Amino acid sequence: MKPNIHPEYRPVVFQDASTGKGFLTRSTITTERVIEWSDGHTYPLVVVEVTSESHPFWTGTDRRLDSAGRVERFEAKYGKRVRGISTHRP
Residue 71's pLDDT is 74
Residue 5 lies in a domain: no
**Spans of the chain, pLDDT less than 70:** 1, 55-68, 81-90
Residue type, 68: A
Residue 23 lies in a domain: yes
Residue 3's pLDDT is 84
Whole-angstrom distance, CA of residue 10 vs CA of residue 21: 20
Residue 1 lies in a domain: no
Residue 88's pLDDT is 55
Number of domains in the chain: 1
What does the buried/exposed string (b/e) look like for 67-86 if buried means 16 or more CB atoms within 10 Å of the residue's CB? eeeeeeeeeeeeeeeeeeee
Residue 13's pLDDT is 95
